[in-house]
Structure 1
Amino acid sequence: MAEDIGKIIEAAITKAIKDRGQVNILIAGKTGVGKSTLINAVFQGNFATTGQGRPVTKKTREIKKEDIPLTLFDTRGLELKDYRETFKELENFVKNKNNDSNPMHHIHMAWICIDEGSRRVEDAEIELCELLAGYMPVIGVITKASSDEGFRMKVLELLKPAKNVVRVNSIPKILDDGYIIKPSGLHELVELAMEIVPEAQKNAFVAAQKVSIEQKKNKSHAIVVASATSAAATGAIPIPFSDALILVPIQIGMLAGITAVFGFELKKAFLSTLVSSTITAGSATLIGKSIVSNLFKMFPGIGSVAGGAISASTASAITIAFGEAYIAALAFLLKDKDISEVSESDILKEFKKRYLGKR
């Protein structure tokens, strides 16, 4: 059984990583505009500081970090007099990327960053927006936002091809009079990015970003629904409790998918511990009779388990309760913590508490 579970977990991890995919974003802006601060505020893992970078053109660096399904292309040189030469090189690079037969290698959107304090939009920024919009959706990001005074409307007017323009203050800022401007605009930026990123990249973006727990929950709910549908199909012919472990692969796949979308590292050892402590713990599985009895209190419309078998509706309800408990546990742990501050033992303890009622 342990060997079978190990293979199931390996297959679930492989599928979850494939389903999550990869998102690639080009971020452009003049030196000092605050791109690194923005990147670290939006994405997990202190990405701009600790990610590995390599040059892909004279003025563009590719930044990656292991276990985060995100690649950033940081483009500089907008302040240079010969920026058009830089743009030609950049356009060739973008064209080659987006002509790749694998959509995961494409650049899926661009953010053009403009410092609000400058109060002006340069020709280079306008031309870059027009160039990039021919290959991908573009968002204008006004950084270090503290006092709009009509500047956003000006940027919107000049960056005509941009999908929208968002004012962002990535970190707290103390003004001369001691007033503190709190971080703002990050949720709006993430929501806009989710609207325009291709469907196949949405899970990757949700996993990489750390601003919106709701986005992580929404995508995870979809995984639970799909898993519950599979469980219902499995239970269409009533399953004897003794054979109920055939639902385990569905539930393991669901766990792996939710873990991936929340942005946690998918490790076989962790999932093995999670599975052995919940789904298959000491033969008193989550799909045992005692659990089903407790579930009836949560789902009064299910009815009774006739003949000691799991029906389609019961299999679906169990899977939903299982998945939603895991989502609630992860969301609770990330409410006031960075993902790097949440341990595997924290996840296991919170999940078991929420599903099995263990304190």
Structure 2
Amino acid sequence: MQNQNIENYDYEKDFLNKFEEEKKKYKRPNILICGYTGAGKTSIIQALLGKDLVPDNKIGHEANPMTQDYDRYENSYIGIWDSKGLEPDKGQDEFVERTKNHIRKIQENKNVDEHIHIFWYAISVGVGKVTGTDLKIINSFPKESTLVIISKIDLDRKNRVVEAIKRELTNNGIPEDRIILTNDEAKEGIEELYEKSLAILPEAYKTAFEEAQRIDIEKAINKVKEKNKAAAGIIAGATVSSAAIAANPIPISDSLIITPIQIGMIASLAALYGLNKEQLKHQALPLVARTVGMITASSLAKLIPGLGNALNSAVAVMITGALGWFVQNQFEKMAIAKVKGEPAPTIDFDFSVFAEFLKNYKKNNDNK
């Protein structure tokens, strides 16, 4: 990209295209949860995956009504199909057939990342029995991917009703170790549900599920921090590319030629840390705009006194590396805030902020 056509460079489109491409690298599991109305399905989701996925005001209302029988909830880490409308004595056979068709349609997708990877079926202990509809739906799920949840148990007395439900399920071929007793208000059994779900997930989807869970916040935060190694690889790749472009010093007036590399780096980091649409709009894109505005001849001369008239590989590496680690630090803070259920911190990024960060970055690297 030459300086004369930089005005035609659509950095926002380039960033979003690269973000969507990078996002495909990170596997996100899909879970289908089914059961009669009142079985506590949404409360189970909240207990394990948090209210940021399904807020209280979504309960009893449509999320994304992808079908007449299932709501769809999703974030950067996980997708949930949540059944609705299964009422006692109201068109249950039709619901069973529509559920089978719904599953068949999803599982026939050539992209396995869109498949349902775990099936949860919830039965409220208050119903007091296992119905024929329960069994028909459970048996339409792949057994190796299915967990049956007996919900709303009485913590003080796991009574004969619970045992009767368990016995009916096992008599119909449901392994006892795939039956989980839960009380979502006290989170009884929710950790077991998490552990058994994690165990049956294909390996490629485990990391995202570990980040999605909200039972052990510290564990989820540590998963975010472990991304530091992947971030280092992304930043190193961008610095190598920018160094290659400036291997033969380029006029400082053409310094924006390395901008697409830096935009791609920011997009890769945004995908790595699971930024959502709102964060892209209000945090990442303004940051990208400021990056484009800063990597100019006049700005570089202020950032690096004595630079002269040419941009060499050492300077290109320093600028790209400093920018990468500044962005990584901000995106990591945003991801951790999301895990904690806190508002995302605002990215304070302008010329003076970056100049100070660049100064410290150069000092730290010089001392190595």
Shift of 1:34: 1.0
Q: Which residue of 1 aligns with 2:268?
A: 254
State how far apart, in whole Å, the 2-side matches of 1:110 and 1:9 are.
36
**8 A contact 1:220–1:327 mirrored in 2:** no
Q: Which residue of 2 aligns with 1:53?
A: 65
Aligned match for 1:329, one of 333, 339, 362: 333
Matched, 1:9 2:12: no
Aligned match for 2:174, one of 160, 166, 169: 160
Matched, 1:144 2:146: no
Q: Which residue of 2 aligns with 1:133?
A: 142
Q: Which residue of 2 aligns with 1:273?
A: 286
**8 A contact 2:96–2:133 mirrored in 1:** no
Matched, 1:230 2:244: no
Shift of 1:71: 5.0
Q: Which deviations, in whole Å up to 9, do the C-alpha atoms of 1:47-86 show, x marking residues without a partner?
A: 5445132644xxx334357999735140554854985664
What secondary structure sits across from 2:39 in the alignment?
coil
**8 A contact 2:287–2:349 mirrored in 1:** no
Aligned match for 2:221, one of 214, 223, 229: 214
State how far apart, in whole Å, the 2-side matches of 1:222 and 1:112 are.
37
**8 A contact 1:227–1:319 mirrored in 2:** no
Q: Which residue of 1 aligns with 2:116?
A: 107
State how far apart, in whole Å, the 2-side matches of 1:330 and 1:69 are.
18
Amino acid at match of 1:92: N
**8 A contact 2:221–2:339 mirrored in 1:** no
Q: Which deviations, in whole Å up to 9, do the C-alpha atoms of 1:73-127 show, x marking residues without a partner?
A: 4055485498566434432332233123343553332111123556655554344
Matched, 1:36 2:48: no
**8 A contact 2:125–2:152 mirrored in 1:** yes
**8 A contact 2:326–2:357 mirrored in 1:** no
What secondary structure sits across from 2:140 in the alignment?
helix
Q: Which residue of 2 aligns with 1:293?
A: none
Q: Which deviations, in whole Å up to 9, do the C-alpha atoms of 1:252-302 show, x marking residues without a partner?
A: 12232145x2545353463221234568647568xx779xxxxxxxxxxxx
TM-score by length of 2: 0.62
User: Structure 1 residues 322, 109: closer, same or farther in 2, change over 3 A?
Assistant: same
User: Structure 1 residues 153, 225: closer, same or farther in 2, change over 3 A?
Assistant: farther
**8 A contact 1:258–1:327 mirrored in 2:** no
What fraction of aligned residue pairs are identical, expressed as a percent? 18
**8 A contact 2:77–2:211 mirrored in 1:** yes
Amino acid at match of 2:115: H
Q: Which has the larger radius of gyration?
A: 2
What secondary structure sits across from 1:97 in the alignment?
helix
State how far apart, in whole Å, the 1-side matches of 2:164 and 2:221 are.
29
**8 A contact 2:30–2:81 mirrored in 1:** yes
**8 A contact 2:266–2:327 mirrored in 1:** no
Q: Which residue of 2 aligns with 1:87?
A: 96
**8 A contact 2:259–2:295 mirrored in 1:** no
**8 A contact 2:32–2:120 mirrored in 1:** yes
**8 A contact 2:234–2:269 mirrored in 1:** no
Amino acid at match of 2:271: G
What secondary structure sits across from 2:122 in the alignment?
strand
Aligned length: 317
State how far apart, in whole Å, the 2-side matches of 1:195 and 1:310 are.
48
User: Structure 1 residues 268, 9: closer, same or farther in 2, change over 3 A?
Assistant: farther
What secondary structure sits across from 2:347 in the alignment?
helix
* Structure 2: segments with no counterpart, 5+ residues: 1-5, 306-311, 359-368
Q: Which residue of 1 aligns with 2:361?
A: none
**8 A contact 1:224–1:319 mirrored in 2:** no
State how far apart, in whole Å, the 1-side matches of 2:132 and 2:279 are.
45
**8 A contact 2:71–2:81 mirrored in 1:** yes
Shift of 1:12: 2.6
State how far apart, in whole Å, the 2-side matches of 1:251 and 1:318 are.
12
